[in-house]
Amino acid sequence: MANEYTDNLPQFAYSAQQVQQYEAKAAKLSGTDLSTLMQRAGTAAFRFIENSQPKSSHVLIITGKGNNAGDGFVVAQLCQQAGFSVTVFALFAPESLTGDAQQAFSQYQGALVFSLNDAELSQFSVVVDGVFGTGFRGELPEHVCLCFDRINKLPVTRLALDVPSGINATTGEVASSAFLATETITFIALKQGLLSGSAKRFVGTLLLADLDVGEAFKTLVTPTSNYLNHQTFMAARPLRALDSYKNAHGHVLLIGGNRGMAGAIRLAAEAALRAGAGLVSVATHPDNIASVLQGRFELMVHGVESANELSSLMKKASVIVLGPGLGQDAWAKALFNCAMVTELPMVVDADGLNCLAYAPRRKSNWVLTPHLGEARRLLSHLEASLNENDRFAVAKKISHEYGAVTVLKGPGSLISEGERININRSGCAGMASAGMGDVLSGIIGGLIAQGVEAFAATNLAVYIHGLAVEQAAQDGEKGMLAGDLFEHIRGILG
């Protein structure tokens, strides 16, 4: 229904430009027009307020100078008619509105103000952001920043219409003093920039109202990214035959754990076991053998003094995980260079990525798992400038430059293989803990060992990793340890 919204989000996302370009065509194909879409958008946002707030609530609607303001005036009119106390705070002169937005303004009969002091702001229980929509990019005007800085501190419901003002809905870039929504109701289709990086914090809970043109829109436009759901990933888990045995489920060799850094390689190795790998070997500094083996005797741990000792271990492996706790000294670089010679599938993380940044190269059949800082180093050799705040561009660039499946870690992690890109929807703030990346690398290696293709294995691993964190976080996000994920990984994979 046109007035409905949902938190059951679809599996595809688009750029803001695609929505702007095709919304009129989708409306026409659905037998309607843009004016009706504005009414439907405002109505869907009103329904959220009606369903979540008592009628005694005082609603503040902040408007700009485009169609997003038109949506806001529709919300204002409907709230007023329903008995809510409504104030519209115009950050731009409404006389500058045109078209459907101007018509929505002319139909609103309530209060309109151009300034509010802190005492006046404190009376509101709902604030609706109708300032900038999908077309926003760059930085917010100073007077808008000053307004949002005050609004964002209020302990109230903050509802953004379509896109929180200050968010680039294509790249996910966040302007200074962007509107900090507790909920965002986006229209027609998911915009990819709302789903990854710091933008997720400003979006809050994301809802979708497709305004009854979503199906038509999908027939017109090719998604820029995927946003796969739980059911899709659970169906993609590797199966294990009743008569299978350990050698049928692959052999992961993990290389890392320099002197004094046994923990990282141990976490990655156990994660590979928990992800279902049949055999797991660890090549680590001789000083670490007892530490890595302690309490996890299923691991085959080898002390490696020099790189030439790796050759026999690599011959037995079906996939390599390189980097956790590796360090960047001569020992680390020798092991890194030796591992680079193999044609085995490979997962490179942590100091493996730092070594790679010093000596960039292309390979096939490998996975790189950088966070933004590591991504910056991986691309530092390029002369062409790249907007590092555009996570989608960064992930794709690494994938193209290195020939790799790339995981750009962070909220809404991105998994890229050339032009294919997936936005992960699992995880929470509990992931901000030491060793989480090592666990992810181990899961990826464990899935590849079982025969899952690299891109599919990486997508599945990132989702499982985030879901395990969510489950572990039920006991509290703060103080969560990477090792707390292991029992949940096992349970999710089944």
Instruction: Give the separation between CA 102 and CA 87, rounded to whole angstroms.
Output: 18
- pLDDT category of residue 388 using cuts at 50, 70 and 90: confident
Q: What angle do CA 68, 71, 76 make, to 5 degrees?
A: 125
- Average pLDDT over the chain, rounded to whole? 96
CB 249 within 8 A of CB 276: yes
- State yes or no: 484 annotated in a binding site: no
Q: At 287, which amino acid appears?
A: D
- State yes or no: 137 annotated in a binding site: yes
- If one compares 384 and 309, the residue with the highest pLDDT of the two is 309
Instruction: Give the separation between CA 99 and CA 395, rounded to whole angstroms.
Output: 39
pLDDT in tens, 1-18: 556 899 999 999 999 999
- State yes or no: 287 annotated in a binding site: no
Q: Of 215, 165, 264, 173, whose CA–CA distance to 26 is shortest?
A: 215
Q: The pTM is what? A: 0.96
- State yes or no: 162 annotated in a binding site: yes
The answer, yes or no, to whether residue 467 has pLDDT greater than 90, is: yes
- State yes or no: 371 annotated in a binding site: yes
- Token pair belonging to 154: 């209020």
**Residue labelled with tokens 């509990």:** 430
Could you tell me how many residues make up the chain? 494
pLDDT of residue 314: 97
**Residue labelled with tokens 């879901």:** 467
- pLDDT category of residue 384 using cuts at 50, 70 and 90: confident
- Token pair belonging to 27: 């409306």
pLDDT in tens, 245-261: 999 899 999 999 999 99
- State yes or no: 165 annotated in a binding site: yes
- DSSP letters for 314-375: HHH-SEEEE-TT--SSHHHHHHHHHHTT--S-EEE-THHHHHHHHS----SSEEE---HHHH
- State yes or no: 84 annotated in a binding site: no
Q: Rounded to a whole number, what is the largest CA-CA distance in the chain?
A: 80
Indicate the DSSP class of residue 57.
Answer: P
Nearest 10 degrees: Cα torsion 216, 220, 226, 228: 30
- State yes or no: 435 annotated in a binding site: no
pLDDT in tens, 348-382: 999 999 999 999 999 999 999 999 999 999 999 98
- Token pair belonging to 130: 């109708």
Helix, strand, coil percent content, the chain, rounded in steps of 5: 45, 15, 40
Q: Of 381, 387, 352, whose CA–CA distance to 369 is shortest?
A: 352
- State yes or no: 129 annotated in a binding site: yes
> What 3-state class would DSSP assign to 423?
strand
- DSSP letters for 215-243: HHHHHH---SEE---HHHHHHTSPP--TT
- State yes or no: 419 annotated in a binding site: no
For the chain, first and last CA: distance in Å?
A: 38
